[in-house]
Structures are given as structure tokens and as C-alpha cells.
Amino acid sequence: MSTKVAIIGSGFGGLAMAIALGRRGVEYTVFERCTSLGGTWRDNAYPGAACDIQSHLYSFSFEPKPDWTRAYAEQPEILAYLERCADKYGVRPRIVFGAEIVEARFDEPSAEWRLSAADGRSWRFDAVVAATGQLHRPKLPRIEGLEQLGARAFHSARWDRGFDPAGKRVGVVGTGASAIQIVPRLAERAAHLSVFQQSPPWILPKLDRPYREVEKRVYAKAPALLAASRAAKYLWGESRLIAFNGEGRYNRLVRAVATWNLEHVISDPVLRARLTPDYPLGCNRILISNDYYPAFNRPNVELVVSPIARAREAGLVTADGRVHALDAVVLATGFETTRFLAPMRVFGREGRELEAAWRAGAEAYLGMMVGGFPNLFVLYGPNTNLAHNSIVLMLEGAGPLRHALPLGARAPRRAHRRAEGARDAGLLGGDGPPLRRLDLGGRLLELVQDRRRQEHQQLAGFRGRVLVPDALAARRRPVVRRLRTRR
């Protein structure tokens, strides 16, 4: 009897798992709540939406794309890439569109997962892979009277496709990764743009450029060169971890570049002071942009640093009593990233709910598996947001599913004991030792290679009828470490 796997979500993670399972001959079904695939790259279609990871790296290793148009691809091209991958690897026919999974419940007698959709449909599977990601639940700010703005206020991930900023007074709430892409585009067309800032971000220059046709042809004819470009970008990205290591030289270098990026563009000392972060580098996400700072040199753009007190029909009122009359308000306030699988409810052994299990703090072995929830895998779980190994695990982790036998009634108890054994061994949760000091040379490469070896050793430990590593409980040191930054 073959193992049947349910994948919830059709973004990068869901497609990667689907393709990996399909290549290994595992039966799977993908459930997508919308009528099209793409996840966050389908939802976030605001002006200027682009990736802040280089195109050669932000693509599947098994499906390189030599003809990316830019070093940092924009949303339409990324979405088209995902759709092409889904068609090429036969994933689209296995996607159930319009199926919003609202509950996943483990049935102990049959050792199966029962999935229930919002429309009343239900299915049963041997294993469930939650690929819902963290960037699909918009986080709305707590502004008194926000409902008075009605349709004039919308989140960046729910962009009003019919909205035309030309000649309008527009407000942008937030200065995060989405806002720094939206602001320059709105500044070009809006009559007046007010940017409401809570705290300024650290912003580095964006080394973006269009690829020349000759480059695309070379990459297409020399796959090894494209792979080398991808590897170099990966190592460069990993090297930025060193910047978080206290007040070291690399930290000072990155701060110097960010400071130069600001001072080079903003000449007004008052405005520059308002755009200068007052917290250490790395406490918030470091952003990259070439056109965010220049937007504030436009006469129609205003930076508002007074907190928003409330909303009224005319617009937003700040704490200083000023009324900002606005025709539209863009809420670039990010996403609910810490609830993970919500609003879907997940019940494991003995009816235990996952949200209740994580109430005191979410934890999962390798960010993927939770004790008491057999054969449930989370691709973007706790402590994986900044980890490089998420894609590695989701692709290589499909191997155990191929060799898994049908689950028996006694399997859940074995899974629970093994997961609890891993917890007792210090593998689930815990701070672990601090990350050792690194330099930009061979020691960084050594760390990356060591992590790769650990991952493959861990994945090789999958055995038997339960899709949980056998050998892990015997280990006596943490294999997943939370990174500590010295202040």
C-alpha cells in the first residue's frame, strides 16, 4: 500500500515538496485555498513587489533559470517561474484549488490524518505537510476607528488592483520590506504621499541590474557557471550572519555602508536624523533599496514620525493632534508570522491541539516535527525564518516518505516516544550554545559544510513505518541552535 501525503499550500515550499515527492514516486495531493497557485507571490502584487534575494539563488536548485531578467526578480516573473515549474513537473493536475483546509485531525485507530475544508469536504492521508508559510495572513495595525476609512484602507497583500494613485493624497503605514518597495512607486504618481514611520530600518544599497542578453545565453550554455553563480550568492548571503556578531569589524563595515547609503542621498540633517535607526544592526530585518531614500527628496513626499493616534473619515490623526487628510491608506504592516498554521486548527494524539501545545512558545524539531503530532511536517516552522536549511530539508526530507510503510495503529505511540526522547535529549527547544565567532574565509565555508553534513546525517536517520528519525533520540547535543547576538 502506498503512502498518501497531503501538502497544504502551493507556494515555493508546497511546490518544492510536491516535485520532490513526485520524483520519488510518492502519491500526493496539494490543497490550495485560492483559485491559482503561487502563495505569497500571488498575493503580493503591489507596485514594485520584488524579491530581496538574488534571482539565481531564489529558484529551485533542480530547476535553474538562466534567463532571469534582473539580478533581483520582480513579482510577475517569480510567479511565472512557479507556474512553469508546476506545469513542467506535473503538479498542477494534483492541486485541489478552492479548498481551504480549516482542520487537520489525527485519527489514532487508523493512524491517518483527516483534513476538513471550509466547504464541508474531507480527505484522509497518511502524512500531512503544512506548506502554508508565514506571509499570507496580513497583520492589521491597531488603530482606533480604522473601519471608518472603509475600502480606502487596504493591506499591501490585498492590493486594490483598480487603485490609481494619480492626483490623490496617499498614506503608507509602515516602513518594512513591503513599504520600501511601495513608497518609491507611489511617490512618482501621487499628488501627496505621507509615510507614517514607527522606527526607521537599516537599509543597504541594492546591487540590482538587468541581465544582458549575452549573459543569459552564457548561463544557458554553461550550467556549471550558473551553479557557481548560485553558490557564490549563497555564501555571500550566509556571510552576512557575521554582521550580527556583536561589534566586530564586519558589523561596523555593514553599518558604515548603511550610513553612507543614507548620507549620500539625504542632505537635510533633520530628515536624515529621522531616517537613522536608533537600535543595533540586526535587531530588525536589514533591507535593501536604491530608491526608497531618494523618494523623500521629492517635494510631494512627507515622513511622519508622530505616532498614529486614531483614524477618522477624513484620514489619520497623529499624536501631535495633526489631521492628515488622505484619499487612500496603504497598510504595509507585515504579517502574522508567529501563529504559523493558523487559522487552520490541528489536533494530534489524544485530541491535543497544536495551538495549545505552542501557547507557551512554539518549538519543533528541526523546525518541522512536533511531539504528539505523528507524521505532521511543517516546512516553515519555529526558528526557521532565518535558517538556510529550510529548502534543503523540504527537498531531501521527501526521501523518508518514499520508503515509509503503511502506518499501523501502534505507530503513533512510537512516534510520540521518539519525539519525546528527542525532547529529553535537548533536541527540541533550548537555547543551545552560542554561535562561534566566524571570519569571512574558510571558517565560514567550514560552518556551511558542517551544517550540510549534519542535515544529511539527520535525514539518513529516517527509518521504518513512522516518519520520524530513529537515531535522533540517542544524540546528546542540540542539532538546531538558536543564534545569539551579543549586544
Instruction: Please give the model's pTM, rounded to 2 decimal places.
Output: 0.79
pLDDT of 361: 80
| pLDDT greater than 60 at residue 375 | yes
Task: Give the residue, 392 or 344, on which the prediction is more confident.
Answer: 344
Q: Which domains does the chain have, with CATH numbers?
A: 4-33+98-137+337-474 (3.50.50.60), 146-209+217-331 (3.50.50.60)
8-state DSSP, 404: P
Nearest in space to 194 (alpha carbons), one of 374, 52, 315, 37: 315
Name which of 19, 273, 260, 276 is nearest 129 in CA terms.
19
pLDDT tens-digit series, residues 44-73? 999 999 999 999 999 999 999 999 999 999
**Beta carbons of 460 and 479 less than 8 angstroms apart:** no
- Report pLDDT digits (tens) over 252-285: 888 999 999 999 999 999 999 999 999 888 788 8
Q: Say if residues 480 and 428 touch (Cβ distance below 8 Å).
A: no
pLDDT > 60? residue 442: no
Q: What is the pLDDT of residues 456-466, one digit of tens each?
A: 444 443 333 34
CA distance 326 to 20: 48
